[in-house]
Structures are given as structure tokens and as C-alpha cells.
Amino acid sequence: MSNGSNLDFKGRVAIVTGAGGGLGRQHALALAARGAKVVVNDLGGARDGSGGSVSAAQAVVDEIKAAGGEAIANGASVTDFEAVQAMVKEAVDAWGRVDILVNNAGILRDKSFAKMDLADFRLVVDVHLMGAVNCTKAVWALMNEQKYGRIVMTTSSSGLYGNFGQSNYGAAKLALVGLMQTLSIEGAKNDIRVNCLAPTAATRMTEDLFPKEMLEAFRPEAVVPAMLVLAAQDAPNRTILCAGAGTFEAAHITLTQGAWLGIEADTPEQLAARLSEVTDREGEAVPQSGAAQGANEVAKGMANAKRN
């Protein structure tokens, strides 16, 4: 326990999806160790999403209980909204509230875009994006009503920066950032804070990507501190935290200062000629809402009009 800091989760109720193994398991164990009551959700399927059994989730629950914590297992698929609603009801029936949702469930169907079946693209988007949407929607009214909520979306460097063979996964993962951007604005008035976590960890999902000597450094436990900070009472809002092997970074979607070129017949040629000026990162900013882009454009246009 960290000396009276806000990383004490006593009295809090958390739902962690995909918590039967890997990162989700570590998230559930850490929240429980710090006092949270935890719904350990896991479909129990293979990493490509096939199959299913609640035994993985139950094993984590048993582990939490053996350490003196409180937890219940749940086998709902995050793609099944009714099952997700029932999971939330189960948590409320047991403990009266839901304070924290960690959207961690995911699958992989990696292939180059040229070889990828569209069904595999849709399924990955359905699990990662719609799975998080379903779980978030199921707790949203409750969190608004209790005027408290902490939601963590699991994004990925594959979404933020791309990765060969992961067009489906990357598209779904960056979509979660877009979801976070708006929900963090809509939830702010009722103290619902929504953030993203981009983990680098050696789990069943990524075990093929790491050389053996790096597996220890990139163990899932190293990502957990970032999740705890994003799920805590003093959590930030609209933050993308990256974490792996003991290093923590923040990612931002920025807007450059840009250049006013007007609306003329030769504006396409002007843009082509001055593209390096438009993309120059000097003075770039992190907008607080989508309206900031329009505001920058209006300001530049008006300044130019005054000059003329």
C-alpha cells in the first residue's frame, strides 16, 4: 500500500474484462490487493477468440480469495450486450455499485491486409471496439447516477503507430482512443474519467513477438502501475499512457500550427509547395476538443483577412 495515496481502492468495485490471464489477470489481482472488489470477466477462449470456459476467470477469483480479497467470476462475451448487462447487474446485486471498468478483453487475427479475410477484420473490431462500447454503455448510466466512474480503454502501439499484419487490430485499437476522447468530455460533469492504456507486455497475445531474454522485462506486472493510476480516484482524464518493461510514456494526438493558404484556384499547388510548413511540428498543440481545429482555422483566416 502506498502510504495513504489515492491508490487505495477500498470500497471500490471494479470490472476487468479478459481477466483470466495475462494483463487482465494482473490488473484484477492488483486492484483486489489494494482493496477493490473485482468482477473477473473472461470468456475463456483461445487468443483468436475461439472456444470458451469460465475456468480461467474462476482460477483468478480463487487466487484473489486466497489472498483475502473479494471477487466473482463472469464468463460473458463482451460482444454480447445482454450478457454484459447481466454482468453489471451481478456486480451491483453483490456490491451495490461499479466504480471502475477496465476494458481489456481482446483477440488477435493477424494477417497482412492483402491476405486478411473480412470476417476476421470484423470480428477483431467487434471484440476490441464494440466489446468496450458494450461494457462502457452497460456501466455509463450507473456511473452518471453515482457521479463517479473510472474507465480504462486498452489501446495499443499498433493502433497509435501501426504494425505489419495488424490492420484489423490497429484500426480497432485507435478507434478506442476516439471513443475515449468524446466520452471523457461527456463524462466530466459527473466525475467519470476515461483514459487509455497502451501496454507492451509479453502475454499469450504477444508471446511470439518477443525474444526469450526480453520476456522477463516485458512481463505484464510492469504495466499494472499505469492501470492503477488511470483507475484511481485522482486519475487524469483523456490521457493515453503507454507502459512496458518499467518505462511509462504518454502519447498525444497533436495539431500543428498550420498555414493559411486561402481558397484560390492554385491552393492545391500552394499546399503541395508548402506541405512541409503545414506539417512543421514547431508550436504544435494537443486540442481539448475537436472544435479546436476549427477555431485554429478561423483564427488564421481572420488574421489574414485583417492583413488584407
What would the pLDDT profile of 1-58 be if each residue is shown by its tens digit?
333 467 999 999 999 999 999 999 999 999 999 999 999 999 986 666 666 677 899 9
Give the CA-trace dihedral at 139, 143, 148, 153, to 10 degrees: 30
What would the pLDDT profile of 121-169 be if each residue is shown by its tens digit?
999 999 999 999 999 999 999 999 999 999 999 999 999 999 999 999 9
The three cell numbers locating residue 210: 518477443
What would the pLDDT profile of 75-110 be if each residue is shown by its tens digit?
999 999 999 999 999 999 999 999 999 999 999 999
Average pLDDT, the chain: 93
Between 210 and 154, name the one with better pLDDT.
154
- Burial code (b: 16+ CB inside 10 Å, e: under 16) for 145-182 equals ebebbbbbbbbbbbbbeebebbbbbbbbbbbbbebbbe
Indicate which residues carry an active-site annotation.
Answer: 169
User: Where are the chain's structural domains?
Assistant: 13-251, 267-307
Backbone angles phi, psi at 78, to 5 degrees: -65, -15
Cell 484473489 maps to which residue?
64
Report the predicted TM-score, pTM, of the whole model to 2 decimal places: 0.93
Which helix or strand (DSSP H or E) is residue 239 part of?
none
Question: DSSP letter string over 63-89?
Answer: HHHHTT--EEEE---TT-HHHHHHHHH
User: What pLDDT, on a 0 to 100 scale, did the predictor assign at position 98?
Assistant: 98
> Within a 10 A sphere around the Cβ of 42, how many other Cβ atoms?
32
**What is the CATH superfamily name and number for domain 13-251?**
NAD(P)-binding Rossmann-like Domain (3.40.50.720)
Give the Cα separation of 16 and 74 in Å (integer): 10
User: What pLDDT, on a 0 to 100 scale, did the predictor assign at position 205?
Assistant: 61
